[in-house]
Amino acid sequence: MSQYTPMMQQYLSIKAAHQDAFLFFRLGDFYEMFFEDAVKASQILEITLTSREGGQNGRIPMCGVPYHSSAGYIKVLVENGYKVAICEQVEDPKQAVGVVRREVVQIITPGTVIDDHLLQDRENNYLVSIDKQGDSYAYILCDLSTGEMKGYLYEGSHLPFIQLLLSQGIKEIVGDQSLHNEWYDYLSQNGQASISIQSDSEIEGKFSHLAENITPPLLLKAAGRLFQYLSFTQKRSFHHLKAVEYQQNEKRMKLDAFSKRNLELTESIRAKGKKGSLLWLLDATMTAMGARKLKQWVEEPLFVKETIEKRLQLVENLIGEFFIREEMKEQLKSVYDMERLIAKISYGNASPRDLVQLRRSLQSVPVIREKINQIDGDYARNLYEKMTDHGELADFLASALCEEAPIQIKDGGIIKKGFNAKLDEYKDASMNGKEWIASLEQQEKAATGIKSLKIGFNKIFGYFIEVTRSNLSMVPEDRYERKQTLANAERYVTPELKEKERIILEAEDKISGLEYSLFLEVREHVKQYIPGLQQLAAAISELDVVQSFASISEQYHYVRPVISENGNVNIVGGRHPVVEKVMDAQEYVPNDIHLNNERNMLLITGPNMAGKSTYMRQLALTSVMMQIGCFVPAESAELPMFDQIFTRIGAADDLVGGQSTFMVEMLETNFALTSATENSLILLDEIGRGTSTYDGMALAQSIIEFIHEKIKAKTLFSTHYHELTVLEKTLPSLQNVFVSAVEENGRLVFLHKVIDGQADKSFGIQVAELAELPEAVIRRAKTILNSYENQQRNEPDPSIKEISATEEEVMESQLSLFSENHSQKIRKEPKEVDVIKELRSINLLEMTPMDAMNVIYKLQGKLK
């Protein structure tokens, strides 16, 4: 160390404690960076790398950004996932002995930013703190910019867990060293979130109220880690943090990252944006707070009947009150982002303009309250009660702040006349002085007869009287005192002008000082309202989401769903809401979905592009919509609450997204098979497609059997293996359905209608024809298909036997795995299948040998 200058020694010791951040070291009007920080930052920020004398070792790399424009540079670094430690001078340089004392006053990290320009209006900015024990995780999502914290428990291996977190747009992960070691590689390859280390820590007394709603020890550990990290990075108190809300698993529908993605809940798969997602469809919110709340709801559908019914009831009541709803929406438009304004007030960052926005928001509240009061129902009442209108605070802010208050707090123009007598006095003095000066020009023109005489002001010389050279002879030398000589004019002052100027400048100096301190007082005063304002903001955001549901439900003719208690799904005239929205509504073909405990699996066949995936997703989206409390796209709908939804799509489809391989598909299928319950919904789209035909078909069949026998979850399984449709005969709860298509004049026409039964043709070549493949290719394909069909009619494929162990399985697989034509033949003669069924149902232990002989005789007779 000693080889460096004292200031560099100071820098190095502070940097040692902030290895993982860029250290912005305050030097006069600049934040400087040194050594590696400087080299790296100069590249990222595209600023010049210079150097500075550092001691015996010569020059040190350096780069810097001006203090006044630092925000933009900090934004770039933070958006790239870096942290910035702001190191300020903490003593007056004039009083300092030796090097001025400096300290890090805040560490800005991707998960702790609260400045507007670093945040997305309609999205939360989450930091997550994690604790782990074996395969059990506890985690807390914290959005410092809104003060919200939510606690969760999670069981499972780390990869799906990380993916789940990333699917929620987490910006930063905080864990201990071992979590860091385990996750770092994955996170650095998969971008998006940075990871920070924070050692274990007890919950400090000053934070204990924030953990009052949580009891699981692992979650309390995650809370301790979080609070410690916030304290360390932010170095201040947090008036706006709300107690952690414990989100119990049994109260939520569980959705893994893949299912969320595949259902396009918040982001479309292809365009990777909000457009085309369920969130996009449902978002008719008027406020940024409502938009964020909506996203939270879409990401976490409920599993609590009363809460769902409560929301549905309010949606219904709001649909019934068009005019009240419209007026309410109008008022909601004038509500600013109160949650983030409150965070800024708590931080001591709120600008005068922020407080004016708070006041304007509060002025809308009485009307919103009055409107919600006119709506029936407990939920409406409950929201009404939470909406204290804070009239007294609104009045106070109205009396204190100018309508057009600025963003800067040091430039004046903030405090309104009448708020503070002393300030008004100074303002009057300044105003009078200025008026006097304004009238001086006329007076002096008259007194001297100089028509071109002017009064002017500049920062160095203050006020002056300017006379052009040609008029100098008319200057009254006794009264005018020469101040400045220009090329073609002279500038003068008079004793009265000097006196007025003194009064004005003194008053203005006092005004800006006083305005500044009055503003700080006003802002401090608002702090005491934080809890009430947060409750108000929460109620407004919920109302905004529910009114959005009502507006969208009315616009697209959705209906209130009935929550089934016995697992029945009866959807009549159901639609896929997003597909319907993006196409001409006339063209969408509605479909029914019927499932119950005796019919809990649909095996869906039909040509490519017929609408199989759309039909399956339709059910999942309808469930999600119901479980977030929205009406659903159907003529009528009864469906149970699902505890989880799993969706797996075959590798062939997924490759379009450049994502998956057959292995990933199998891992994900495994996740569904091991986690689903009989209350879950499973969508398996073309499973087995990513491998060879018989492999794929065998896997598909065994997966279907497993779900049918063991899990009994409601399942939609689409497949292009028509051979699997024979399973209907042996699996009592499985029903074949197919999406119809017809050939008209040799062309394939999709009807998009889902009907019980199985498709008897796969129409692959017709789809190829629609895609306008060269005619020669189509002709040749038809010939090849013909010859395959003839071959298979004559000789069954020997490979079938390899996947069948017992005699019975050989027979079954022959029945199920033969070619399309063969299965058609079987369909015409179902007696063999009946014989197998009967054989299965025989209980040999209860039979005499004679009975057995009789049964065999009878069965043989059936086969003749």
List contacts with ligand ADP (CB under 6 A): 579, 587-589, 591, 606, 608-614, 752
Between the CA atoms of 156, 158, 160 and 165, what dihedral angle is there, to the nearest 10 degrees?
110
Residue with smaller CB distance to ligand ADP, 83 or 752 = 752
Residue 96: count other Cβ atoms within 10 Å of its Cβ. Answer: 11
d(CA 158, CA 279): 27
Sign of the Cα torsion 605, 608, 611, 616 reads positive
Taking the C-alpha atoms of residue 706 and residue 734, their distance in angstroms, rounded to an integer, is 12
In the bound state with ligand ADP, the residue whose beta carbon lies nearer, of 609 and 859, is: 609
Q: Select from 742, 660, 673 the least CA-distant residue to 707.
A: 673
Whether 447 has a binding-site annotation, put simply, is no
User: In terms of CB distance, is 229 or 588 closer to ligand ADP?
Assistant: 588
* Smallest separation (angstroms) from ligand ADP to the CB of 361: 42
Residue 819 labelled as part of a binding site = no
CB of 654 to ligand ADP, least distance (A): 13
- Least Å distance, CB 763 to ligand ADP, is 11
Q: With respect to ligand ADP, which residue has the nearer C-beta, 111 or 606?
A: 606
Nearer to ligand ADP, 610 or 704 (CB): 610
Residue number, 270 or 451, with CB nearest to ligand ADP: 270
Q: What share of the chain is helix, strand, coil (3-state, %, to 5)?
A: 50, 20, 30
Shortest gap between Cβ of 576 and ligand ADP (angstroms)?
7
Nearer to ligand ADP, 561 or 606 (CB): 606
DSSP state of 52: E
Residue 27 or 652 having the CB closest to ligand ADP = 652
**Phi and psi for 72 in degrees, rounded to 5?**
-65, -40
Alpha-carbon distance values, 174 to 118, 143, 346 (Å): 20, 13, 23
DSSP tag of 803 = T
Q: Please tell me whether 609 is known to bind a ligand.
A: yes
Determine if residue 861 is labeled as part of a ligand binding site: no
Is the Cβ of residue 478 or residue 587 nearer to ligand ADP in the bound state? 587
Using Cβ positions, the residue closest to ligand ADP within the complex turns out to be 611
Return the DSSP state at 273. Answer: S
> Least distance to ligand ADP from the beta carbon of 720, Å?
9
Please, which residue, 429 or 683, has the CB nearer to ligand ADP? 683
Residue 364 or 719: the one with the smaller Cβ distance to ligand ADP is: 719
Rounded to an integer, what is the distance from CA 100 to the centroid of its chain?
44
CB of 593 to ligand ADP, least distance (A): 12
Residue 611 known to bind ligand:
yes
The distance of closest approach from Cβ of residue 618 to ligand ADP in the complex, given in angstroms and rounded to an integer, is 8
Tell me whether residue 28 is annotated as binding: no
Neighbouring residues of 807: CB distance < 8 A, sequence distance ≥ 6:
none
Q: Is 819 exposed, middle or buried (0-12, 13-18, 19+ CB in 10 A)?
A: middle
Closest approach of Cβ 671 to ligand ADP, in Å? 22
In whole angstroms, what is the distance from residue 540 CA to residue 369 CA?
10
Cα angle: 753, vertex 759, 762; to 5 degrees: 105
CA-only gyration radius of the chain, Å: 37
Q: Is 608 annotated as a binding residue?
A: yes
Residue nearer to ligand ADP on the CB measure, 412 or 606: 606
Beta-sheet pairing, 59-66 with 30-34: antiparallel
d(CA 689, CA 649): 9
Distance CA 619, CA 241 (A): 38
Q: How far is the CB of 652 from ligand ADP (least distance, A)?
A: 11
Residue 612 annotated as binding?
yes
* Residue closer to ligand ADP, measured from CB, 612 or 708: 612
CB of 606 to ligand ADP, least distance (A): 6
Within 458-611, residue ranges assigned H as helices are 495-527, 530-555, 577-582
Nearest-approach distance from CB 341 to ligand ADP, in angstroms? 43
Residue 629 vs 650, nearer CB to ligand ADP = 650
Q: Which of 115, 117, 120, 8 is nearest to 60 (CA)?
A: 8
Closest CA to 78 of 109, 107, 52: 109
Burial label for 21, CB within 10 Å (0-12, 13-18, 19+), is buried
Q: Residue 677, exposed/middle/buried by CB under 10 A (0-12, 13-18, 19+)?
A: exposed
- Burial label for 779, CB within 10 Å (0-12, 13-18, 19+), is exposed
In the structure encoding, which two tokens stand for residue 585, read together?
């509504």
What whole-number distance in Å separates Cα of residue 736 and Cα of residue 755? Answer: 9
Element counts in the chain: helices (H) and strands (E): 31, 27
Contact, 441 vs 455, CB < 8 A?
A: yes
Which is closer to ligand ADP, CB of 387 or CB of 704? 704
SS3 (DSSP) at 546: helix
Those residues whose C-beta lies under 8 Å from the C-beta of residue 397, and which sit 6 or more positions away, are 355, 356, 358, 359, 362, 522, 526
CA separation for the pair 512, 506 (Å, rounded): 10
Nearest to 371 by CA among 314, 292, 288: 314
- The 8-class DSSP code of residue 337 comes to -
**CB of 636 vs ligand ADP, minimal distance in Å:** 17
| Annotated binding-site residue numbers for ATP | 606-613
Residues of the binding site: 606-613
